[in-house]
């Protein structure tokens, strides 16, 4: 009887460990997704800033040539 209880406890521990590992994997995946989204937002903001600076420079050049 004791061996069966021990085996059941071992199976329970393995199951809980596997579930915990799955949760860690999901959290890591989510973190990577969030980081990718943050990087995309940063890239878009940088592109917008660069385009704005370029347009401003062009407008200044046009104004100088008037």
**Mean pLDDT of the region 15-23:** 96
- pLDDT averaged over every residue in the chain: 91
Statement: residue 1 has pLDDT above 80:
no
Q: Tell me the CA distances in angstroms from 57 to 6, 44, 46, one per residue in order.
A: 75, 20, 16
pLDDT in tens, 22-35: 999 999 999 999 99
pLDDT for the residue 48: 97
pLDDT for the residue 46: 97
Q: Which helix (H) or strand (E) holds 66?
A: none
């Amino acid at each position: 009887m004791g061996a069966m209880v021990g085996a059941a406890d071992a199976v329970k521990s393995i199951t809980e460990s596997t579930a915990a590992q799955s949760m860690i994997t999901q959290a890591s995946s989510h973190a990577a997704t969030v980081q990718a989204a943050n990087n995309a937002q940063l890239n878009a903001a940088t592109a917008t800033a660069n385009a704005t600076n370029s347009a401003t420079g062009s407008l200044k050049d046009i104004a100088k040539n008037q």
